[in-house]
A and B are shown apart, each in its own frame.
Chain A
């Protein structure tokens, strides 16, 4: 019976979502407060039912209810409990349910923390979120029901894809979805502002902490995904420009642009239409990402099951939500450029250039991702662009951003003095050059590594100089307000990230070797001793485990245990061994035995040394932290009441 209760809960949630998406909008239009007041309780009720459905699915997994098709497809009796919980979002149906659950979490959070918002505005925001929720709940109920029964009930289930049986994978999807879905809040704010027609700046201030938090979650989710593909896929890479990765990267790029544009609009009133457009883009790209992943129209390593019905449904939904919002934008966007004017040398200009670069980069990623589809459409045959396309264009587009970044905090709104900028140019420039020269001695003329050190020092010194300046010039307690501290953290993250990318890309050493037990291979100054293989078992797998002792100049460094696991349903999964370090990772993946009948003899092994690769994720985590710290700024909360009061008067007068 319980799974049917889950389905019933989803149906009730859908009904509430329909109420939430129609009545408050109607009320806001007609000025009917009773209808507007439906928004909050409908949102909370919906969240309760979705959470109930989710809990029932979790319960079905924990209790091995293989009469539920989804449970039977994605778990079995041997699967440990923690992976049975993660299996809830391990495939299509459950991950869509997670999507809706997270949308409800955001909606309820918004309803709780936005009591100061004008009633009309909040009714519109919650109404828009209700529309999105309606679409996804209908999608689940009509095309992707996780509670479908399987009769007769099998004695045991299949298995969760072994690739997903990894700690990184258990929390990567929820965090990523927190980011994706979080952009729906900025989206709803923009739509509400367009609908209301009052182009007050206030809504941007309300939207800012939500956008920052969503972007921070998205950063964290991307870092987790990248780390997982590094540790789990055994290819030693951290980013592949895979369609599904790109799907998460496009909203991230637009999110960066949006965060900065929001700052301009909030503080100066300029770029209003642009900020609205970016909010629409960020969430539209999240939806597009969902479409690309879920419709299966692009083949990728993430190869999810595809179903044309699902693709058609999401496309229709995209047409309504994205098409509708862009049409609304065309009709209602502010016609006159508002806000204060700014000179060529000003913070606005710098942010505008950055915005342009990030938006073009997102467009570039989208073009590259959709290229195979274009090839089919224009009858050019099977074509696709890979890392060379992205690897060339992306750094080119980011170059102006890196060059401008140290000046950012120094630039003033409106018009900036040049002497202080020259000072930054000289100091950061000299530091970057000096470090580049120093680095040249260590990296054997690897241009990419030298450029990496130079660019990271350029950005890092720029940030450090500004920290020192604030320390000297401002009284204690007012030196680093959260908003600024977040900005500095995120910018420092860029420097850390640059070190990681450029050094690991240029200085990594990979060797494929055939090793018999007792043999030694030297890679990047480390001696890898292969001591043969042993057998080992886990909760639901058996493995051949290699033993590799690493030494450097005779001193022991690490003992590594790469595995080749065979799961209960014969799926084979390589579990590479990583010895992490601040300046380098050692990475060993076990290949195949040369002779399958004699595993005690020679094996193929893949050995890597990867200098500074950990800095890539550290940089991403700094950016994430920056997003959260900024979002927590008291300014966003304290001033709200005053602003809210103003806008209410404004709306009343309008009405």
Chain B
């Protein structure tokens, strides 16, 4: 029996590896489930990028669904995402808030001036402290928050036309159907 142990161990290992192949072909390996989905968004109070004296808070945004798109001028993938947002952000039917993440406000303003501003308003989080509450671990990320302030959808990585058509828009539509 003892001589069979290595073989049994291998059978278990092979089972695990086979599971891995099946799992990876049926799941997106980069998809990380956010523990925040269907949980209230963290409370935030952040200054506007164009007018730091004015702040935007979660409470002020309650009552209608909106999107938060985390970006930064230093972020390479955001540059890829940017033209997509420029083309489609007005078709979402909900306000899109730009969330400038760990960025020098001057750099962000220059970046938006150069590439265009797809956002309805932009809030700035130069220290990145609030972003920790959102579980942001790299820009770009996108959050869909409903009228009660609950996170309903999250995308890590750039939005692409496919992702928008297949995931984001259905999620927005579902929200708007719920709304009375």
Are A373's CB and B16's CB within 8 A?
A: yes
Q: In the bound complex, do residue A315 and residue B7 qualify as a contact, i.e. CB atoms below 8 Å apart?
A: no
Contact present for B29 and A299 (CB under 8 Å): yes
Question: Which stretch of B20-28, B45-53, B119-127 is in the interface?
Answer: B20-28
Interface of A is mostly: helix
Contact of A277 among B6, B20, B30, B74 (CB under 8 A): B6
| Chain B residues within an 8 Å CB radius of A382 | 32-33
Q: Is the CB of A318 within 8 A of B7?
A: no
Q: Do A326 and B10 touch (CB < 8 A)?
A: yes
B residues in contact with A381, CB < 8 Å: 33
Q: How far is the CA of A280 from the CA of B27 in the complex (A)?
A: 33
Q: Closest chain B residue to A595 by CB distance? A: B107
User: Whole-angstrom distance from the CB of B45 to the nearest CB of chain A?
Assistant: 28
Name A291's contact: one of B17, B29, B107 (CB within 8 Å).
B17
Min Cβ gap B108→A in Å is 13
Residues of B within 8 A of A376 (CB): 19-20, 23, 27
Residues of A within 8 A of B32 (CB): 382
Q: Are A308 and B6 in contact (CB under 8 A)?
A: no
- Chain A's closest residue to B22 (CB) is A308
A318 touches B14 (CB 8 A): yes
B163: CB under 8 A from chain A? Answer: no
Q: Which of the segments A14-22, A327-335, A505-513 contacts the partner chain?
A: A327-335
Q: How far is the CA of A288 from the CA of B14 in the complex (A)?
A: 10
Contacts of A333 in B (CB 8 A): 3
How long is the Cα–Cα vector from A311 to B23 in the complex, in angstroms?
Answer: 12
Q: How far apart are the CA atoms of A330 and B1 in the complex, in Å?
A: 8
B126 to chain A, nearest CB (A): 14
Are the C-beta atoms of B6 and A295 separated by less than 8 Å?
A: no
Partner of B74, one of A298, A331, A374, A592: A592
Complexed CA–CA distance, A306 and B28 (Å): 12
B residues within 8 A CB of A312? Answer: 21
Other-chain contact of A308, B7, B21, B30 (Cβ < 8 Å): B21
* A319 CA to B15 CA, complexed, in Å: 10
Q: Is B4 an interface residue (CB 8 A)?
A: yes
On chain A, the residues within 8 Å of B3 by CB distance are 273, 329-331, 333
Does A297 lie within 8 Å of B6, measured CB to CB? no
Instruction: List A contacts of B13 (CB < 8 A).
Output: 288, 370
Interface presence of A525 (CB below 8 A): no
The answer to whether the Cβ of A322 comes within 8 Å of any Cβ in the partner chain is yes
The answer, yes or no, to whether A387 is at the interface (CB within 8 Å) is no
| Size of B's binding interface in residues, CB under 8 A | 24
- Pick the contact of A297 from B7, B24, B107 — CB < 8 Å? B24
* Closest chain B residue, CB of each to CB of A326: B7
In the assembled complex, how far is the CB of residue A170 from the closest CB belonging to chain B, in whole angstroms? 28
Q: Output the nearest chain B residue to A319 by Cβ-Cβ distance.
A: B14
- Determine how close the nearest CB of chain B comes to the CB of A373; give it in whole angstroms: 5
Complex: how many Å from CA A306 to CA B20?
Answer: 12
Known A-B contacts A277-B6, A326-B7; the reply to A308 vs B17 at CB < 8 A is: no
Residue tally, chain A, CB below 8 Å to B: 36
Contact present for A296 and B17 (CB under 8 Å)? no
- Does the CB pair B18–A315 fall under 8 Å? yes
- CB-CB < 8 A to B30: which residues of A? 299
Q: Given A323-B14, A327-B7, is A373 in contact with B21 using a C-beta cutoff of 8 Å? A: no
Q: Which of A235-275 contact B (CB under 8 A)?
A: 273
A373 with B4, Cβ < 8 A, contacts A299-B29, A323-B10, A323-B14 known: no
Among B10, B21, B27, point to the contact of A311 (Cβ < 8 A): B21
A295 touches B21 (CB 8 A): yes
Interchain CA distance A277-B7 in the complex, whole Å: 11
Which residues of B have CB within 8 Å of A311? 17, 20-21, 24
B residues near A151, Cβ cutoff 8 Å: none
Q: Decide if B61 is an interface residue (CB 8 Å cutoff).
A: no
Interface flag for B174 (CB, 8 Å): no
| From B11, B16, B33, contact of A323 by CB (8 A) | B11
List the A side residues contacting B25 at CB < 8 Å.
308
Could you tell me the distance between the alpha carbons of A333 and B74 in the complex, rounded to whole angstroms? 61
Complex alpha-carbon distance, A7 and B146, angstroms: 58
CA distance A284 to B14 in the complex (A): 12
Interface positions of B from 22 to 79, Cβ below 8 Å from A: 23-25, 27, 29-30, 32-33, 74
- Is A305 engaged at the interface, CB distance under 8 Å to the other chain? no
Residues from chain B with a CB closer than 8 A to the CB of A281 are: 6
Residues in B with CB closer than 8 Å to A297 are: 17, 20-21, 23-24
A638 at the B interface (CB under 8 A): no
The CA-CA distance from A296 to B171 in the complex, in Å, is 30
Q: Which of A288, A297, A298, A381 neighbours the largest number of chain B CB atoms within 10 Å of its CB?
A: A297
A377 within 8 A of B: yes
Of B10, B20, B33, which one neighbours A373 at CB under 8 angstroms? B20
Task: For the complex formed, measure the closest distance between the CB of B131 and the CB atoms of chain A, giving whole angstroms.
Answer: 19
Are A318 and B17 neighbours in the complex by a CB distance under 8 Å? yes
Is there an interface contact between B10 and A322, defined as CB atoms closer than 8 Å?
yes
A330-B21 contact given A299-B29, A323-B11, CB 8 Å threshold: no
Task: Judge whether B19 and A373 touch: CB under 8 Å.
Answer: yes
A-B contact pairs, 26 of them (CB 8 A): A273-B3, A295-B20, A297-B21, A299-B30, A308-B21, A311-B17, A311-B20, A311-B21, A311-B24, A315-B14, A315-B17, A318-B14, A323-B10, A323-B11, A326-B7, A329-B7, A330-B3, A330-B7, A370-B16, A373-B16, A373-B23, A377-B16, A377-B19, A377-B20, A377-B23, A382-B32
* 20 new A-B contacts at CB < 8 Å, known A318-B14, A323-B11: A273-B3, A284-B10, A288-B13, A291-B17, A295-B17, A295-B21, A297-B23, A299-B29, A315-B14, A315-B21, A323-B7, A327-B7, A329-B7, A330-B4, A330-B7, A374-B16, A376-B27, A377-B16, A377-B20, A595-B107
Chain A interface (Cβ < 8 Å from any Cβ of B)? 273, 277, 280-281, 284, 288, 291, 295-299, 306, 308, 311-312, 315, 318-319, 322-323, 326-327, 329-331, 333, 370, 373-374, 376-377, 381-382, 592, 595
